[in-house]
Amino acid sequence: MKKVLAMAAVAFVLPMASADAQWVFVARKAAQRIHHMTEGGVGGQPGYDFASVVLEAPADRVFAIALERAQQNRAVHILMADPGARRLQVAEGDRTATLNVVELSEGVSQLLIAGRSRPNEEAASSQIVTAVMRICAEMKKTCELAR
| pLDDT tens, residue order, the chain (147 aa) | 544 434 444 444 445 554 555 545 555 556 788 888 888 777 777 788 888 999 999 999 999 999 999 999 999 999 999 999 999 999 988 888 999 999 999 999 999 999 887 766 665 557 888 888 899 999 898 888 887
CATH of the domain at 136: 3.30.530.20
If asked whether residues 43 and 102 sit together in one domain, one would say: yes
If asked whether residues 79 and 39 sit together in one domain, one would say: yes
Domain interval for residue 140: 31-145
**What totals of helices (H) and strands (E) does the chain contain, helices first?**
3, 7
If asked whether residues 20 and 72 sit together in one domain, one would say: no
If asked whether residues 37 and 10 sit together in one domain, one would say: no
> Cα 67 vs. chain centroid, distance in angstroms?
13
If asked whether residues 75 and 42 sit together in one domain, one would say: yes
E strand residue ranges, 25-107: 33-39, 48-55, 77-82, 87-92, 95-105
If asked whether residues 25 and 35 sit together in one domain, one would say: no
The structural domain count of the chain equals 2
Determine the Cα–Cα distance for residues 44 and 93; give it in Å rounded to an integer.
17
Per-residue confidence (pLDDT) for residue 77, from 0 to 100: 95
- Indicate the pTM of the whole model: 0.74
